[in-house]
Structure 1
Amino acid sequence: MKIIAALKSPLSVVLSLFTILYLLGNSQIAITDPVESNYTLTALEMLKANDYMSPRIYGNYWFDKPIFFYWELIGAYKLFGINEFASRLFPTIFSISSLGFLYWFTTKIADRRLAITAVLVLGTSFAYWLLAKTVITDSTLFLFFNATLAFFYLAYSSNQKYYYYFCYIFAALSTLTKGPIGFLLPGLIIVLFLASQRNFIEVHHMKLPLGLPLFLVIVGSWYGYMYALHGSAFLDTFLGVHNVLRATVSEHPKDNVWYYYTAIFFAITLPWGFTVPKQLYQQWKQRIPNWYKPPNYINYNPTTMFLLIWAITINVFFQCMATKYTTYTYPSLFPIAILMARYLVAHPNRVKVTAFITGITYIVLTYTLAIPLTNQFYSGKHTARYIESLSDTTAPIYFHGNYRASIPFYSGKTIIRVVQDESLADTLPGGINWNAKNVMPITGFKEIDANKTAYLIESNPLKNNRPFDLDLITWSPVMKTSNTIISTHIPTH
């Protein structure tokens, strides 16, 4: 009877509905470029090589991200085959798990009404729905990163100090998912909170003698192995390029503006972001009479202060980083959802109606936008299917334009990136710079043998300004998709 009652509980119903929402259409959403395809192709090559420790892509070791997400993909491929559903399975699983964890944590610091409201807010936020269906590390990081901070606060605010051990475990898993940021940023948030409470004496209760070795053992199980196997090549690429360089040199300079994360905040929190200005306005109205009392101007209770520091620090930290991505501040949605729920819990009917309409909207968007757009414009799936049908399996296949890793993922063929000869040396990887990402096969135009049959894939935007070097060989178009043109060269003799 207790099991039946649990299945009928509001949380079970809500999580079941979110599971359906996040799984819908996943088997039809093509693997997109440039991010999803890098993850799926890497996991596929690891699986084929029977190597579950060293990420690899295009036959080369690939030190872009730590190992945990690749393990998820490999596990899904072993269970369900190599397809879109399997690729998107674990992001959905971790997103549902995070909603359950949010509910549990919120009941610990507040009550069930606030908890279920927070779950509805987070689960229907635009970024959360989108990343629950996206093949990237962020859904996994979301759970591990926020669990680290949640268990810290539960240990800090109670006599159950054993929660600190969970803090170390999840910090380690976070580090195995995203890198050093998995423990450095939670650590910064904890330090700032302790400073706000003037309570650094709590450090003595944080189980450091056992917690720190526990963290190091979990993290060292992979990082130590990678360094022992690959040495400085691992450190230079993983730490030098994908951590230090990413923080100091913008990968996308046009996005490196001071207002970047402020600008996208209302987009990623749709449809709930409107509550933030209202809450700020209400706080401002309440505190105007006491504005002349600086020492007591901010007198939030510890829980509110922790949630605010949690959310604000994530956004400010990544705003200070040179490279900016829309997903970097994604973990901040966990505390933000609780803060929003505090305002919305007084309006339960509005929350239910908004969540329902938003869920229906996401279903419509899945079938009217996500599936058609990914298949037609953001993936090389159709191009790969044509390449699979080629009768000449020995002919080299070249790609000019924005390289699509989804084509080798879907086709299993080697796709050679071709660039102008004078820029070849500046394109090849070497040193601590962004060229380290160019690990696909690369050649110059003049290296194409005119005496052999070959195929050329070109990105559509480049079809009207083809470099002169390509015209040194006669290419005949044989297929056109919405995002590429495929041509062939057949020697006349």
Structure 2
Amino acid sequence: MIFAGRYRHLILLLVVAFGFFWNLGNAPLFDEDEGFFAEGTREMALRGDFISTYINQEPRFDKPPLTNWLQYGATQLLGWNEWAMRLPSAVAALGWMLAIFLFVRKRLSEREAFYATLMAACSLQITIIGKAALADALLNAFLVGAMFSQYEILQGGHRKYTFLFYGFSALGFLSKGPIAVLVPGAVTVLYLLRWRSIRPLWRVLDGSGILLFLLITLPWYLLQYQQMGQAFIDGFFLSHNVNRFRTTFEGHYGGILYFVPILLVGLLPYTAVVLSAFGRLRYLWHDRYFSFHLLWFVFIFVFFSLSGTKLHHYIIYGYTPLFVLAAWYIAYNPGLPLIWPLLVFMIILLVAPFTLPNFIPMINDAYVVEVIQGAAAEFNQEYYIAMGVLLLVLLVLEVKKSWPKDLRLLLAGLVLLVTINILWMPRLANLLQEPVKQAALLAKQRGYTNLVVYDHYYPSFHFYSGLFAEERTPRTSDIVLARKHRLEGVQNKEILYEKYGVVLARIQGP
């Protein structure tokens, strides 16, 4: 191993800082989800009510408010900007990585802790979700802390792990709701069935721990129920939790194999390593520590594959155990199958911007056509040069298989981080969200009234403009934010702002 001692800690610190904090506020907030959380926080502050979440003056019961509370706290330091909205997630991602390192080091070794943390910090989906203005980084941080603590309880560890488990679970419950309790509970039951032992369960069901959980969670749930009554029960527990599993919610559907391709891409650049670790499945299944991680991942995969509502980030709840298994595999196997999946992915990213225009005649969505046409301005010569250099690095790594595996692991991760965080996400944000932000700032600057958002959900428009808008068909004298093609039938209109298929227009007549 080329990295030893304090250098491992320094490398991980630099990778985490680059992956989750570098240019944190460099891109506009993405709709719908980032805009949803940011606007919920803004309206909490505007109303002086930090119990209930409102979006465009309408009550919403999607998530508990811990993310909004932390975002508001960040605004007191940084102002109302992208940095403040994303900072809680980045800090949570830092805690997530720290939990992986500390717990894996305790049960395995510092070398394996280094591998697991490095892979988690550099993986495609985690580096995106770890700095998005959402509740998912918080939930994952608390879920990972709870799961690792739970394993220590099951093995008869110090009683401090009981309080850690219930504390982390409670904070997860305030971040995203029942899933923070369901996952540890289900995996514990499966683990006890696997090892045919019921006795450790009594260590888990600790009265003091349960009391701690209730002290943290009950106040908000009771206050929310007091404000909203049965609407809260129906909206939060039944609609956004039970119905998400039973039915397709908000159009987020997919087949039973929905998460297979997402896993293959989301684990990049370490997909091949994770798959190789499953070649030792029999050994992993007969080891208590590794079987716990297998059951953790399998439960997440099966549960959400059976869910009626499917979102790509659900599977991330099961990524941490995969990286623990992969870290063990790397430490005790000389070969490191690493580069080729990332190489394929990078080639696709390289050619996509200039090949997509060839498909325009087959695309019926006028907005998508405008975005593809606008990609030429964003994905410029600098992009192709940078991508070429990164591809060259990957080719060297593929040829130099004799290089130390931890160095190859690190360089592959850095290639992915540079590609996503510097080359792709800012450009994608400029294509999809910068027009919405600029339209909102224009509306704010000119103090427009009679605002209408037509035929698409843009909560970030409210956040950036500080204004509310009706969601309906536009009428005469309205100022309308819409996708350009939706207003093509309106003859009497004045275009106030237009870019990449998004327009802000004044309707002057029928």
- TM-score normalised by length of structure 2: 0.81
- Partner of 1:487, secondary structure, is strand
- For 2:504, the equivalent position in structure 1 comes to 486
Equivalent pairs, count: 437
CA-CA distance at 1:252 after TM superposition: 5.2
CA-CA distance at 1:187 after TM superposition: 0.4
- Partner of 2:323, secondary structure, is helix
Q: Deviations over 1:265-308 (max 9, x none)?
A: 01110011112332334557x9xxxxxxxxxxx85111111010
Q: Deviations over 1:406-432 (max 9, x none)?
A: 11110112222124xxxxxxxxxxxxx
> Does the 8 Å CA contact 2:156/2:200 hold for their aligned counterparts?
no
Aligned counterparts of 1:142 and 1:246: Cα–Cα separation in 2 = 19
Q: Deviations over 1:340-376 (max 9, x none)?
A: 1111124592233232243244224333321122123
> Does the 8 Å CA contact 2:57/2:468 hold for their aligned counterparts?
no
Aligned counterparts of 2:330 and 2:164: Cα–Cα separation in 1 = 30
Which structure's CA Rg is the greater one? 1
Aligned counterparts of 2:184 and 2:280: Cα–Cα separation in 1 = 29
- TM-score normalised by length of structure 1: 0.83
CA-CA distance at 1:490 after TM superposition: 3.9
Q: Deviations over 1:381-439 (max 9, x none)?
A: 0111222233xx354122222121111110112222124xxxxxxxxxxxxxxxxxxxx
- Partner of 2:472, secondary structure, is strand
> Does the 8 Å CA contact 1:401/1:458 hold for their aligned counterparts?
yes
Aligned counterparts of 1:207 and 1:491: Cα–Cα separation in 2 = 67
1:115 aligns with one of 113, 116, 136? 113
- For 2:409, the equivalent position in structure 1 comes to 354
Question: 2:43 aligned with 1:57, yes or no?
Answer: no
Question: 2:141 aligned with 1:143, yes or no?
Answer: yes
CA-CA distance at 1:311 after TM superposition: 1.1
Q: Which runs of 4+ in 1 moved over 6 A?
A: none
- For 2:469, the equivalent position in structure 1 comes to 415
Aligned counterparts of 2:69 and 2:121: Cα–Cα separation in 1 = 25
Amino acid at match of 1:322: G
- Structure 1 segment 242-253 matched on structure 2, within 5 A: 242-251=240-249, 253=251
- For 1:458, the equivalent position in structure 2 comes to 482
> Does the 8 Å CA contact 2:153/2:203 hold for their aligned counterparts?
no
> Does the 8 Å CA contact 1:377/1:483 hold for their aligned counterparts?
no
More helix by percentage: 2
Q: Deviations over 1:69-115 (max 9, x none)?
A: 11111111111100011111111111111111101000111111111
1:196 aligns with one of 194, 197, 220? 194
Q: Deviations over 1:152-179 (max 9, x none)?
A: 1112213423412211111111111111
> Does the 8 Å CA contact 1:400/1:457 hold for their aligned counterparts?
yes
Aligned counterparts of 1:318 and 1:247: Cα–Cα separation in 2 = 8
Question: 2:49 aligned with 1:40, yes or no?
Answer: no
- Structure 1 segment 81-96 matched on structure 2, within 5 A: 81-96=79-94
CA-CA distance at 1:9 after TM superposition: 4.8
- Structure 1 segment 199-210 matched on structure 2, within 5 A: 199-210=197-208
- Structure 1 segment 88-487 matched on structure 2, within 5 A: 88-251=86-249, 253=251, 255-283=253-281, 300-346=286-332, 349-379=404-434, 380-390=436-446, 393=447, 395-419=449-473, 445=474, 448=475, 450=476, 453-464=477-488, 466=489, 474-487=492-505
- Partner of 2:480, secondary structure, is strand
Amino acid at match of 2:453: F
Amino acid at match of 1:88: R
CA RMSD, 1 decimal: 2.3
Aligned counterparts of 1:491 and 1:312: Cα–Cα separation in 2 = 58
CA-CA distance at 1:65 after TM superposition: 0.3
CA-CA distance at 1:53 after TM superposition: 2.0
Q: Name stretches of at least 5 consecutive residues in structure 2 with no aligned partner.
A: 337-403
- Partner of 2:303, secondary structure, is helix
- Report sequence identity in percent: 22
> Does the 8 Å CA contact 1:29/1:84 hold for their aligned counterparts?
yes
CA-CA distance at 1:133 after TM superposition: 2.0
- Partner of 1:389, secondary structure, is helix
Q: Deviations over 1:415-473 (max 9, x none)?
A: 22124xxxxxxxxxxxxxxxxxxxxxxxxx5xx3x4xx332222135355x4xxx56xx
User: Which shifted more, 354-363 or 235-244?
Assistant: 354-363
Aligned counterparts of 1:95 and 1:394: Cα–Cα separation in 2 = 39
Q: Deviations over 1:230-264 (max 9, x none)?
A: 21111111112111121111125573201011121
- Partner of 2:314, secondary structure, is coil
- Partner of 1:200, secondary structure, is coil
